[in-house]
Structures are given as C-alpha cells and as structure tokens.
Amino acid sequence: MPLTFAKEGEANSIKKVGGREDTRKFLENLGFVVGAAVTVVSEADGNMIVNIKDSRVAIGKDMASRIMI
C-alpha cells in the first residue's frame, strides 16, 4: 500500500519506490530506499512529515503515493 495510507506513529518498512528515474533518485537521496524504516510523524491534507534514517522529512502526497510500504 502507498505511504499515504500509513497511520501516524506506526513504523513501516519500504517495499518499493515507484515513479520516473529522476523521482526515484530524488527519494533515494532523501533516504527512501527499499528496506528502510519509515514512520509518519504527522499528516495534513495528504502532505506528510516522516521520520526516515534519524531525520525528519516533509513530502507531498504525490511523492508519498509513490512510496510503497
């Protein structure tokens, strides 16, 4: 399921990162790689703040929908 369906505070593991090559590279540079643990800190209108690799990252719902957990 996409990251947009994750509940706040719930730890998940990334299964797949989709999208175009440049989009995947961008997300990979932020730490969104297969097997990484990701936790949703907060969500507003589909936009999310997540914990990934000891960092907090804000991503839009279009990017979050490309990350499968």
Question: CA 19, CA 69: separation in Å to the nearest integer?
Answer: 15
Strand 67-68 and strand 47-52: the pairing is unpaired
Look up residue 19 and give its DSSP letter: S
Q: What pLDDT, in 10s, does the model give residues 6-25?
A: 999 999 999 999 999 999 99
By percentage, how much of the chain surpasses pLDDT 70?
Answer: 100
Q: pLDDT grade, residue 46 (50/70/90)? A: confident
pLDDT value of residue 31? 94
* CATH superfamily, region 3-68: Ferrous iron transport protein A (FeoA) (2.30.30.90)
**CB contact set of 27 (below 8 Å; sequence gap of 6+):** 17, 19, 63, 66, 67
Domain boundaries, the chain: 3-68
8 neighbors 42 (Cβ within 8 angstroms):
yes
Mean pLDDT in the chain? 94
